Amino acid sequence: MAIPKVMGTEIEYGITVKNDRDFDPISSCVLLVNSYREESTTKILWDYDQENPLADARGFQVEGEKYTPNQQENIARNKTLANGARYYVDHAHPEYSCPEVTNARDLVIHEKAGERIVEQSRRDANRVLPPGTQMLIYKNNSDRKGNSYGSHENYLMDRRTSFKQIVEHLMPFFVTRQIYSGAGKVGSENRAHPCEYQLSQRADFFETEVALDTMVKRPIINTRDEPHADREKYRRLHVIVGDANMSEFTIWLRNGLTALVLAMIEDGAVDRDLSFRDPVRAIKEISHDASCRREVEMQSGRRRSAVQVQREYLEMARRYVATREVAAEVKDLIVEWERVLDALERDPMELRGEIDWIIKRALIEGFMERKGVDWGSPQVQMLDLQYHDLRPDKGLYYILERQGRVRRVVTDEEIERAVLYPPEDTRAYFRGGCLRRYGTQVFGVNWDSISFGIGDEPIKRVMMIEPLKGSKQHVEALFNSSPTAAELVRNLRS
């Protein structure tokens, strides 16, 4: 029986400072992150001791050194928030990692909360910039100079499922899901074959099938084996193949269907060989075909379109859910999956209010028709970027949202609450609750631990290796009986 698919996302945002000839992305990121203030969490360290980014899921340790910043740099680059999230500087990008959630709808809420937190910190950062300059943030994946930055998904899996089996059954799904999860992009990059418009912002940057790296020779399937949970029971599948999406419906479909397919793999319900002869080539060919009709060579010698491959997964999913009890959301996802595939087969533009790459394409084509310009126009390139602008009054996606031209999945009230509060059904509730109640006594935090500095006593580390423990149901009574951190630690150990 597949384990619950606890999930989360990590979004690296594009950053620039307009009219700053000496723009330094790292110092700008530090300013941005530190402009977001929660008084109880300003001096808490991120606990790097519990991390091991060099462990490979194929069963070995990669050579290299783990980077650990000093205390001052740690505080400057990291914020653990009372909503259970981590907001920090990753290389030359601001990154927001949402708290752990148990379903795709909550994922949408908390990822969208991240957008609002980043935008709030951008506005606050601009107040201290020199006159005439302005910080701009984009939720996209490319700077148009050959650099790509990630939008990563994470899913809890059963360690007993062999990684080889995960790769075999997941590769064709990842190669083809971009037909509904792509963010859309004008032109190509990274020496890929030229095209006017493509489905995915990331597809051109994948150069190998399976590997540990995320920045060079990017793999379709990443092998990082850093579970942030009980290592004997769990693995965390670290997915780097996705785009940064703006559409709530696209995010919901992307994460919900991926979680479903992973559960199917764990339960042995993916029973067909859908392997591509050359997945790296296939992911680019599919991305470059906005008609969604191009057929790609399979390992068997057949040629299939991405829609046809996705239909195979859909058929297996239907059989899977018919034999067990599943959440109502899973049933909704399957209905929407079929509807989306049908529309993509007929005419992708039927989905111009729902799927990111199609929303953006419809917007750009309307502009080109009105202005009499083509795909090579600098104005078209600017529209592509402006779709991802986090400014509510300038970002084209947000303008469409206000006009009611894109489909919503969640409410503004739910998003605003998630800016302040963690989900209630994972350990994020305990993490966020500790920060809110005992923030001045929290010394360090990681996904699977929290440490308290209580007076002159040694640091007290509380482990949180079970992602579904620490929920409101588990710990609300504990919080109510523990007015101080010292009492909390005592109560936990009694």
> pLDDT value at position 167?
97
Q: How confident is the model at residue 52 (pLDDT cuts 50, 70, 90)?
A: confident
Residue pLDDT, tens place only, 312-333: 999 999 999 999 999 999 999 9
The string of pLDDT tens digits covering residues 136-178 is 999 999 988 888 998 999 999 999 999 999 999 999 999 999 9
Domains detected in the chain: 7-38+81-416 (3.30.590), 424-493 (no CATH)
The helix/strand/coil state of 284 is: helix
Contact 158, 2 (CB under 8 A): yes
- Which H/E stretch holds residue 164? helix 163-176
Residue 218 backbone zone (phi > 0: left; psi -120 to 50: alpha; other: beta): beta
For residues 161 and 237, the answer to whether their CB atoms sit within 8 Å is: no
What does the block give as tokens for 152?
Answer: 């990563």
- The reported pLDDT for the residue numbered 49 is 80
For residue 375, give the nearest of 387, 366, 364, 359 by alpha carbon: 364
Q: Per-residue pLDDT for 360 more than 90?
A: yes
Predicted TM-score (pTM) of the model is 0.97
Closest CA to 131 of 242, 19, 228: 19
Q: What is the dihedral of CA 183, 189, 191, 195, to 10 degrees?
A: 70
pLDDT above 80: residue 491: yes
Nearest-angstrom CA–CA distance, 419 and 188: 35
DSSP summary character for residue 13 = P
DSSP designation for 93: E
Give every CB contact of residue 295 below 8 A, 6+ residues apart in sequence: 303, 304, 305, 308
Res. 68: pLDDT tops 90 = no
- pLDDT (mean) for 39-48: 82
Active site residues: 90
Residue type, 462: V
CB contact at 8 A, 78 and 86: yes
The mean pLDDT value for 244-265 works out to 98
The confidence band for 214, taking pLDDT boundaries of 50, 70 and 90, is confident
**pLDDT at residue 215 in the model:** 73
Render 337-367 in DSSP notation, one character per residue.
Answer: HHHHHHHHHH-GGGGTTTSHHHHHHHHHHHH
Residues of the chain above pLDDT 90, percent: 89
- Please write the tens of the pLDDT for every residue from 188-204: 998 899 999 999 999 99
Please give the pLDDT value at position 384.
98
**Position 370 confidence tier, pLDDT thresholds 50, 70, 90:** very high
pLDDT of amino acid 174:
98
Mean pLDDT of 56-75: 79
Using the predicted structure, report yes or no on whether residue 65 has a pLDDT greater than 70: no
What single-letter DSSP state applies at residue 224?
B
Give the pLDDT confidence of 377-430 residue by residue, as tens digits: 999 999 999 999 999 999 999 999 999 999 999 999 999 999 999 999 999 999
Q: Is the pLDDT of residue 64 over 70?
A: no
Residue of 216, 202, 192, 9 whose CA lies nearest to 97: 9
What pLDDT band is residue 70 in, cutting at 50, 70 and 90?
confident
- Distance from C-alpha of 369 to C-alpha of 383, rounded to nearest angstrom: 14
Whole-number pLDDT of residue 400: 98
Q: Which residue has the tokens 């499922």?
A: 161
**What is the per-residue pLDDT across 103-134, written as a single tens digit (0 to 9) for each?**
999 999 999 999 999 999 999 999 999 999 99
Q: What is the mean pLDDT of the chain?
A: 95
Query: What integer pLDDT is reported at residue 410 of this predicted model?
Result: 98
What six digits make up the tokens of 312?
A: 């195979």
